[in-house]
Structure 1
Amino acid sequence: MNAAFDAAAIRARAEAAITVALEVGRETARFRRESDPRTLAVQSKGLQDFVTTADRMAEQAIRQGLISRFPDDTFMGEESGGQSEGAGTWVVDPIDGTTNYIRGLRYWGVSIAFVVGDKVEIGVIYDAAEDKVFHAVRGGGAFKDGLQIHAATTADPASALIILGHSRKTSFDEYLALSKRLHERGMDYRRMGAAAIDLVRVAEGAADLCYERHLNAWDMLAGALIAEEAGATVAMPPVGRLLAGGGPVVAHTPGLADEFAFILESAGLMVAS
């Protein structure tokens, strides 16, 4: 760990991030419940890539909540941008699953990661579906509302539940081929639309694999740490590369490592050490 951040400094940041994620998540959910969807001021950033008034308000609230406590930290948000500079950086997606949020599907979350050097040291995710917060500090296990969670022990592919994501930046034919291969092995699969929540579903044992060929850093870093700390096998590019341009992520239950080895190979990934 960077000398500037001892265990107490990391713990203080984790506690702050948990508080901020819960407050902002609940306020964002309330805003959606009480708003006419026509007033969300939806704008398109690209094909099926939207931003709303709620995204901007949530990111500003997260920034204020964290940087007011830790003014020397830097901040990188999906909506406001920023770069990873200095000793430690907050990497934030204020609403992961914006399309779901717009349409009233409660499969979205608030994702907050804290990066020191080339390591994610803190991951915090507010899960709107359950109104709960998942969190992990590197080396300390993974938790859901303070109760420790663990990846599933599934070893039979016919019992596996898979969550796949798809980005329009990648080949749809590849996505279809992967879906077909998993289906032929007897696995059931879903596409849910919020990678941060997909990753914590693996962390808590509700799913056995989460894979997406391309994500931005703010979509995956918090969830990847939580899944890893829950005992899942996690593979993704180096953090610096993700911060610069995104990339793939795989998280799966260890008992199915042989089944999913081809995914890591096709994505050019190695298991995190």
Structure 2
Amino acid sequence: MPFNDDLRLAHILADAADAATMERFKALDLKVETKPDMTPVSEADKQAEELIRSQLQRARPRDAVLGEEYGSQGTGPRRWIIDPIDGTKNYVRGVPVWATLISLVVRGEHGDEGVVGVVSAPALGRRWWAAQGTGAYTGRSLAAATRLRVSQVERLEDASFGYSSLSGWEEHGQLPDFLDLTRACWRTRGYGDFWPYMMVAEGSVDICAEPELSLWDMAAPSVVVQEAGGVFTSLDGRPGPFGGNAAASNGLLHEDLLGYLGRD
């Protein structure tokens, strides 16, 4: 398939990032700063992104890169999207739910689309990945993997709904709609960050949504969800991770999800 080499490279990049982030995880002398948006950034965030960028410069020198910590570099039809640590607040508190997100976005006839996604959570001992047209998988390596498939739940009253927090929905004036959706669902849990999207891909969660996200938060998870048979859009139904917010589902429940949280 056309992106298999890029997927292998993404795994190599994730391996390097995993080694760097795990070395500093729970370190008593971990340095943490506060960014202008009042979110934390650790020395491990910066080191992991630097490692990924350095390897990309050697392996794909013509490709552009966008990362959370160091911004945009280069132009062209191929762009790597990096979140060195998704879940930094967990990371700095010693909570193991965090991951490095690596994806490749290419420009086609109909605009940008994600074609490779790797989500690596070394403190959980888990990794998920996908490339366009090859399906989504989880496991410890390309050679030892299980294929992912979304659930077949068809009714909200039977559905499990994953989200991050209530505060975001309140800030965007959507808390009443969000609460209505939680009441309509069988089960709700605030897993947060990358994890509920991976559980949608695995079929253990049926829908998830967030009111505000950056491209680096969504690019890799969107590829995994879609290759597992699910649907990933913005809250207004725009396909892919480019709308500034996210709605992911097994596909069967997507219209119901957007019916509650879709923006006018």
**Class of the TM-score when normalised by the shorter of the 2 chains:** 0.7 to 0.9
Give the superposition deviation at 1:263.
3.8
Displacement of 1:151 in angstroms is 0.7
Q: Is 1:267 matched with 2:263?
A: yes
Partner in structure 2 of residue 30 of structure 1: 23
Question: After superposition, where does 1:45-84 map in structure 2 within 5 Å?
Answer: 45-46=35-36, 49-83=39-73
1:196-255 deviation line (CA, Å, top 9, x unaligned): 33211211112111201110000001101110110112213466x93xxx6111111223
Gaps of 5+ in 1: 1-6, 269-273
Cα distance in 1, alignment partners of residues 42 and 127 from structure 2 = 23
TM-score (normalised: structure 1) = 0.83
> 1:107 Cα deviation (Å)?
1.0
Residue 40 of structure 1: SS of its match in structure 2?
A: coil
After superposition, residues 122-161 of structure 1 pair within 5 angstroms as: 122-145=116-139, 146-161=145-160
Give the 5 Å matches for 1:219-258. 219-236=217-234, 237=238, 242=242, 247-258=244-255
Other-structure match for 2:8: 15
What does residue range 186-225 of structure 1 map to in structure 2 within 5 Å? 186-194=185-193, 196-225=194-223
Contact 2:136 2:228 in 1 (8 A): yes
* Displacement of 1:123: 0.7
- Pick one of 84, 95, 99 that aligns with 2:85: 95
Ranges of 4+ aligned residues in structure 1 off by more than 6 Å: 167-170
Task: Check conservation: 2:22, 2:123, Cα contact below 8 A.
Answer: no
The alignment yields a C-alpha RMSD, in angstroms, of 2.4
Number of the residue aligned with 2:113: 119
TM-score scaled to structure 2, two decimals? 0.86
The CA deviation string for residues 121-148 of structure 1, in whole angstroms up to 9 with x for no partner, is 1111102353222111112111112321
Shift of 1:159: 3.1
Report the CA distance between 1:29 and its aligned residue: 2.0
Distance 1:173 1:66, change over 3 A: closer
Alpha-carbon shift at residue 166 of structure 1 (Å): 4.9
Identical-residue share of aligned pairs (%): 28
Aligned counterparts of 1:178 and 1:48: Cα–Cα separation in 2: 27
- In the alignment, the residues of structure 2 paired with residue 132 and residue 233 of structure 1 have an alpha-carbon distance, to the nearest angstrom, of 22
- Cα distance change of structure 1 residues 182 and 167 upon mapping to structure 2, 3 Å threshold: closer
Hey, what's the Cα distance between the residues in 2 that align with 1:263 and 1:63? 39
Match of 1:108 in 2: 98
Where 1:135 maps in the other structure, the secondary structure is: strand
**Distance of 2:185 and 2:35 partners within structure 1:** 37
Q: Which moved more, 1:229-238 or 1:86-95?
A: 229-238
Given that 1:157 and 1:256 are in contact with CA atoms closer than 8 Å, whether structure 2 keeps it comes out as yes
Closer/same/farther in 2, CA of residues 91 and 257 from structure 1, 3 Å limit:
closer
Return closer, same or farther for 1:58/1:116 CA change in 2, 3 Å cut-off: same
Unmatched segments (≥5 aa) in structure 2:
140-144
2:142 is matched with which residue? none
Pairs within 5 Å for 1:174-189: 174-189=173-188
Separation (CA, whole Å) in 2 of partners of 1:121 and 1:110: 17
Aligned to 1:42: 32
Cα pair distance change 1:84/1:137, threshold 3 Å: farther
- Between the aligned partners of 1:208 and 1:238, the Cα distance in structure 2 is 18
